[in-house]
Amino acid sequence: MKTPEIIEKEAKEILASLPSTLSPKDRAAIPHMDMPVQDPKERIHNMSEVALGYTEDEAIVEASRCLQCRNKPCVNGCPVGIDIPAFIHKITEKDYSGALSVIQESSLLPSICGRVCPQENQCQKYCTVGKMCKDVDKAVGIGRLERFVADHEADKSTVPAIAPETGKRVAIVGSGPASIACAADVRRAGHSVTVFEALHKMGGVLSYGIPEFRLPKRLVDKEISKLKDMGIDFEKNVLVGRTRTIKELMEEDGFDAVFVGTGAGLPKFMGIPGEDLVSVFSANEYLTRSNLMKAYDGEHSLTPYFHAHRVAVFGGGNVAMDAARTALRLGAETVDIIYRRSREEMPARKEEIEHAVEEGCNLRLLSQPVEILGDENGIVKGVVIRKCELGEPDASGRRSPVEIPGSDYTVEYDTVIVSIGNASNPLIKKTTPEIETNRRGNFVVNEETCETSMKGVYAGGDIVLGAATVILAMGQGRKAAAAINEYLKENK
Amino acid sequence: MYRIVRKEQLSQEVFLMEIEAPMIARERKAGQFVIVQKGGDFNERIPLTIADASPEKGTITIVYQRVGASTFLLAELEEGDAIENVLGPLGTPTHIEKFGRVVCVGGGIGVAPLYPIAEAMKAAGNDVRVIIGARNKELIIEEDKMRTIDPDLTIVTDDGSYGEKGVVTVPLERMLQEGNVDHVVAIGPAVMMKFCTKTAEKYNVPITVSLNSIMIDGTGMCGGCRVDIGGERKFVCVDGPEFDGHLVNWDNLMMRQRTYKAQETEDNDKCRGGICGKLGLK
């Protein structure tokens, strides 16, 4: 693996050798810049960010690889439609504030999306350079460039223009990515916006879920304070459905519209014996303790975490990778990620899987946990695992796992983290029967407007989509905001 | 911010705080709880049952025992100070109906959250009998308040320093034997609720218990509070905190409550020389 120093040296050499005008062929010949990262051996002992971000030289080299395609295929892959070639062009001109302005026309949280978007399945998947190289990993590093711009201009971002006050009031329920995106766009239209959050910190999954080493919390705090500067009110310790109901917000508190972005907050379990043992945790609990409650900082935090030695993580998604890598940083000696299909089918981002493996997590693939064994104190002592093989593709298009009878074996663990997804939180559904939900408890919305079956109530993010990504949630938040702004215009 | 308007020390380790929280005071019903976080990044979220509330004054009352570092720090706050975070009301309210005769059993600080339930049961027209128990006389709390509901309440202490000597199941069994008991409500340590349940079971009387499991967010997100209720997985924070005692898997609950026991002992040791030392405590 290349050290940050080597990558920077390469960037300097390439920059020096670039001709003053570049043909598309020249551009495509420039090697892809690796992302400088903390050494895996060191980083498992700290919570600091793993990916260090491009230096200016590295960013310019990477930006120079962009062919500036006229049909902009990458933009079609972006859920919020950022004018990607335009901002990348600004980087090559060293006009970083110009680059940020281009991004901010479409996206509110570049420092966050540049870090957590699955670009390889979005913009970068359609990149012509990647196609020419026949390798999506060699596509222009759009996400890394987005992050570079956001970080470079971190102290310079300005408050966007706000339309004259309309006197209309909008309540936003939850403060995660969908809510933040919706709040900003509604506020820009001149409406008064109040965000209600149940926890003591704003940001939703950005605060409690995604670990510090992948998304530093100072960035989340910064984005929230930017929204405060726009005049958005944030009220914590309000659990809509208990402290106030949606009906009360609209009928008694005078809100003209409501956006619900409460996420998918009810952890799923496998339904196998032993899941109620003492050292079995949902990934939500494990990560919330470490991230939101700062349990990793044992010197200061009053929230305990379970001191695990041999950890089994069930699941193959990004949250499973986050949990596994957190366990390593909290001192686990071995961490196995147990997943029933092969590495190909793992839903986690490739980069996250690579980082987890580099750090020493073991992938125990084609393996299905069937029972968790405990000792007399209820502490996990092992997991019975059944081997699987890949069968026919299922509804998701991925080859489905088929259990092999008689293949059970037991591995010793003292801790299990279950990370197989979330169901929707039933609280609002229970207290607001007017809102139609589907079989899985997700809100049913109009696809164009994100409006629910209750007039004036909109929803987006995981409460609608099930488990999705930060950027998809933001996309829905923005779509809902546009519809809310339209709705309030009509209802003068 | 939630200002403390009244603080009382009910016994050596038990404190009462009346806190300004108008929205919670207005919405709360018997049996519901709040999560209190003193403030900042590092304090724990502590689930506490609402012991009383005044919608007119806009206040709620919490009662807690000083057991670890977090409750120790909470008890350092005085009248006029503010708690940064109080979330609530959480949980499903107590099912109140006219059962007939209801025996309410409170153990230790469980007496505090029992009060609003006993009060609501009485208001619904029930004949409410109260039993309160503690290790010793010093630890009996809210006796006067409970007497307003049942002037003839029964007091039990482990060491006999006040009331009857023994455990709460003795007077409970006596009342069940006398007959005419239609419902039992028990709040206290898990082991006490378990034995109250076993006692009620003998007489085939329904019992409601309020479970105090490990919890972080209180909104259904973490799943730390999951309990086995008649073979089904339930979350104390959203499905509870009250359940049919006969369906609770008590052994699993008590086992899970001990999850951080080893670490807490370690932390308490650390506390002496560590963070509490830095904060000038203990």
pLDDT digits (tens, 9 = 90+) for A436-462: 999 888 999 999 999 999 999 999 999
- The CA distance from A277 to the nearest CA of chain B, in Å, is 7
Domain that holds residue A196: 169-265+424-490
Contacting residues for A190 by C-beta, under 8 A, at least 6 apart? A162, A163, A164, A165, A166
Whether the per-residue pLDDT at B278 is higher than 70: the answer is no
Residue A154 CB-half CA count within 13 A: 13
What are the structural domains of chain B?
2-90 (2.40.30.10), 101-257 (3.40.50.80)
Choose the final residue of a domain: A363, A394, A421.
Answer: A421
List CB contacts (< 8 A) between A243 and chain B: 23-24, 27, 87-89
B88 vs A239: CB contact, 8 Å cut-off?
yes
* A163 belongs to a structural domain: no
In this prediction, residue B274 carries a pLDDT of 46
In a domain, A55, yes or no: yes
Put simply, the answer to whether A267 touches B221 (Cβ < 8 Å) is: yes
CATH number for the domain spanning A100: value is 1.10.1060.10
Arithmetic mean of pLDDT, A127-131: 94
pLDDT at B280 (0 to 100): 46
Does one domain contain both A66 and A208? no
In total, the C-beta contacts within 8 angstroms joining chain A to chain B are 132
pLDDT band at B273 (very low <50, low <70, confident <90, very high): very low
CB contact under 8 Å between A302 and B44, yes or no, is yes
Question: Are A288 and B216 in contact (CB < 8 Å)?
Answer: yes
A364 and A280, same structural domain?
yes
Average the pLDDT over B85-93 and give the result: 95
**Inter-chain CB proximity A237 and B27 less than 8 Å:** no
Same domain, A273 and A249: no
Q: Are residues A211 and A142 in the same domain?
A: no
A410 and A301 housed in the same domain: yes
A446 and A368 together in one domain = no
Interface with A, mutate which of B90, B221, B239 (most A CBs under 10 A)? B221
Q: Taking 60 as the threshold, does the pLDDT of residue A389 lie above it?
A: yes
Q: Which two tokens stand for residue B55?
A: 């919608």
Query: Tell me, what DSSP letter sits at residue A30?
Result: S
Q: How far is CA B222 from CA A264, A285, A292, A308, B238, in A?
A: 11, 4, 12, 18, 11
| B217/B223 Cα distance (integer angstroms) | 9
Residue B266 confidence (pLDDT):
64
Mean local confidence (pLDDT), A76-95: 94
* pLDDT reported for residue A271: 94
Average pLDDT of chain A is 93
The pLDDT, as a whole number, for residue B125 is 96
User: pLDDT, tens digit, for every residue of A257-310?
Assistant: 999 999 878 899 999 999 999 999 999 999 999 999 998 988 898 988 899 999
- The most confident of the ranges A139-153, A384-398, A429-443 is A139-153
A175 and A299, same domain (yes or no): no
Q: What's residue A6's pLDDT?
A: 95
Position B272 scores a pLDDT of: 45
Inter-chain CB proximity A284 and B219 less than 8 Å: no
**In Å, what is the CA distance from B84 to each residue of A240, B38, B40?**
19, 6, 8
Beta carbons within 8 Å of B108's beta carbon, 6+ residues apart: B65, B133, B134, B135, B139, B188, B189, B192
pLDDT tens digits, one per residue of A10-44: 999 999 998 888 888 889 889 999 999 999 999 99
Same domain, A299 and A343: yes
What is the CB-side half-sphere exposure of residue A467 using CA atoms within 13 A? 15
The rounded percent of chain A whose pLDDT value lies above 90 is: 81
Question: How many angstroms separate the Cα of B64 from the Cα of each of A60, A230, B116?
Answer: 59, 40, 16
d(CA A393, CA A427): 35
Q: Could you give the CA distance from residue A12 to residue B31 in angstroms, rounded to a whole number?
A: 67
Q: Contacts of residue A302 in chain B, CB cutoff 8 Å?
A: 42-44, 68-70, 73, 275
At B195-219, the pLDDT tens digits run 999 999 999 999 999 999 999 999 9
Decide which of A152, A183, A202 is a domain's last residue.
A152
Residue B271: pLDDT over 90 = no
Asked whether residue A403 is domain-assigned, the answer is: yes
Q: How far is B47 from chain A (nearest CA, A)?
A: 13
Q: B146-165: per-residue pLDDT in tens? A: 999 999 999 999 999 999 99
HEC-encoded secondary structure of A105-157: CCCCCHHHHHHHCCHHHCHHHHCHHHHHCCCHHHCCCHHHHHHHHHHHCCCCC
3-state DSSP percent of chain B in helix, strand and coil, to 5? 35, 30, 35
Determine the pLDDT at residue A492. Answer: 59
CB of A292 closer than 8 Å to CB of B224:
no
Q: For residue A104, is it within any domain?
A: yes
Determine the average pLDDT of the residues in B243-267: 86
Single out the residue in A102, A126, A152 at which a domain terminates: A152
- B267 has pLDDT over 80: no
Mean pLDDT across B233-245: 94
Are A241 and A336 in a shared domain? no
Q: Which chain A residue lies closest to B2 (C-alpha atoms)? A: A237
Structural domains of chain A, count: 3
CB atoms within 10 A of CB A461: 34
CA B78 – CA B19 distance, rounded (Å):
11
Q: Range with the lowest mean pLDDT among A18-27, A71-80, A189-198, A325-334?
A: A18-27
- A157 inside domain: no
What are the pLDDT digits (tens) for A249-262? 999 999 999 999 99
DSSP letters of A221-286? HHHHHHHHHTT-EEE-S--BTTTB-HHHHHHTS--SEEEE-----EE-----TTTTSTTEEEHHHH
CATH code of the domain covering residue A469: 3.50.50.60
The residue of chain B nearest to residue A264, with distances taken between CA atoms, is B221
Residue A75 has pLDDT above 60, yes or no: yes
Task: Tell me whether A208 touches chain B (CB under 8 Å).
Answer: yes
The verdict on residue A475 lying in a domain is yes
pLDDT of B51? 93
Task: Report yes or no on A161 lying in a domain.
Answer: no
Q: Assess if residue A481 is contained within a domain.
A: yes
Per residue in A327-368, pLDDT (tens digit) is 999 999 999 999 999 999 999 999 999 999 999 999 999 999
In the predicted model, what is the mean pLDDT of residues A158-163?
85
Q: Say whether both A404 and A323 belong to one domain.
A: yes
| Statement to judge: residues A216 and A203 lie in one domain | yes
Whether A67 and A141 share a structural domain:
yes
State mean pLDDT over A217-236. Answer: 94
pLDDT over 60 (residue B275): no
Measured CA to CA, the distance from residue A102 to residue A85 in angstroms comes to: 10
A226 pLDDT higher than 80: yes
